[in-house]
A and B are shown apart, each in its own frame.
Chain A
Amino acid sequence: MNGLHDMGGMDGFGTVVAPAREPPFHDVWEGRVMAISRALAATGLWNIDQGRYGIERLTPEIYLTSSYHRKWHLRTEALLLEAGLISAAELAAGHAQGPAKPLPRVMLRPDKVPATLVRGTYERPAPAPARFKAGATVRARNIHPASHTRLPRYARGRTGVVDRIYGCHVFPDSYVSGKGDDPQWLYAVRFEACELWGADADPTVTVLIDAFEPYLMSA
């Protein structure tokens, strides 16, 4: 979706403010939000792309005015409500009011935590050979899926070069539907800044994106 999350190249957000030191969590609730989200994802309630899409689907005003962990919390509430695992009445009351529904997998117990904290692998056996070689000139397709995609708007329709091939990976645009991995070849594609932003752009700058094969065509 062409959401507010797709921020690459937008103007008007001001300068980057980077304090010298910052704790991992600014308040106890931020840590709980992250832990609840990780624990629920470990039960199979949602995968990484469904989790991201949940954040992308927050209303734009909420997205723009909420802190990072607040967005995570609102996403978790929304996905649990959609799954029928909790109710609005329960959220208002702050307590469970009805029986629990079964989870896809068992609840995350402390002894299983270390294993869930290791990033999973997203590489899969290739169903077909890679279509593009390193060095090939490619054009990012001008696609505007209504659902989740990892092709940023700023790169669509632009011509670049395959910098390297990363193997065959779970395809987010399919994975978000929960209907399987649909593995696709993944490439690092390099664009000159002038190709992305016009002739006035800095000629010393190149931008690389990780692009799945369905995002690309021969140029």
Chain B
Amino acid sequence: MNGIHDMGGMDAFGKVVPDQRAFHAEWERRVFSLLNAVEAAGAWNIDQFRFGIERLPPEVYLTSSYFKRWHLMAELLLREGGYVSAAELAAGHAIGTPKPLPCGTMQAYQAVAETFISGAFGRPARHPAVFKVGDTVRTRNIHSASHTRLPRYARGHTGRIDNVIGCHVFPDANVTGADENPQWLYAVAFNARDLWGDDADSTVKVVINAFEPYLGPA
């Protein structure tokens, strides 16, 4: 979706304020660990998690801190999944019989394996990669209403295949929860001038990770 989360190239957000702290309050630590545990238990996959954040109302997205967005997304997805009700969130306690999570409750001993190792998204390829390193490609001008990982600023532009990363779970399909539909994944390099016009810095290149369905011949 063309949501407020797709911020690449937007102006007026001001300067970057360096801040080295991972967490700013105790509740942020709890949100982080809680959501990792629930994800490991199968409440959602990575793309459903991201799409949940993208679906927050734009004014909520823009005025909420990073971990507040996580929390609001979790409330949304847990309600949609039937794991938690609005009444329970209001009461602050479980009411009634819980619906089991797909993978059960995550035990402490699993936490290290499940949470602290980034998931594996590589999958066997069903066909050879269409593009090779050095090929010139054009990103498609597509505007999916659902979750996609092709940013707006890179659509319809010409770039060069910088690296063939492998065949990976395709986010645009994985967000349905029903189909991983693995696709070849590339690193595609663009000259800043192709993205931002002739006034852009000629020394700058921008590299995105692009799945094969995002790309066409130049």
Contacts and interface: CB of A to CB of B under 8 A. Distances in A.
A89 interface: no
A12 B11 contact: no
B157 A3 contact: no
Interface stretch (B58-66, B95-103, B177-185): B58-66
Interface string B136-162: 000011110100000010001100000
A152 interface: no
Nearest to B11: A1
A206 B199 CA distance: 30
Interface string A178-202: 0000000000000000011111110
B123 interface: no
Interface stretch (A36-44, A54-62, A76-84, A118-126): A54-62
Given A4-B10, A157-B156, A144 B197 contact: yes
Contact of A2 (B2, B4, B9, B55): B9
Interface string B5-38: 0000111111000000000000000000000000
Interface residues of B, number: 31
A144 B196 contact: yes
Nearest to B140: A198
**Interface SS majority for chain A:** loop
Interface of A: 1-4, 9-14, 56-57, 59-61, 64-65, 141-144, 146, 153, 157-158, 195-201
Given A10-B4, A60-B62, A157 B157 contact: yes
27 contacts: A3-B10, A3-B11, A3-B12, A9-B143, A11-B2, A12-B4, A12-B57, A14-B57, A56-B12, A59-B13, A59-B14, A60-B62, A61-B63, A64-B4, A64-B63, A141-B197, A142-B195, A142-B197, A143-B199, A144-B9, A144-B196, A144-B197, A144-B200, A157-B156, A196-B141, A198-B142, A199-B142
Interface of B: 1-4, 9-14, 54-55, 57-59, 62-63, 140-143, 145, 152, 156-157, 194-197, 199-200
A12 B58 contact: yes
B59 A11 contact: no
A198 B141 contact: yes
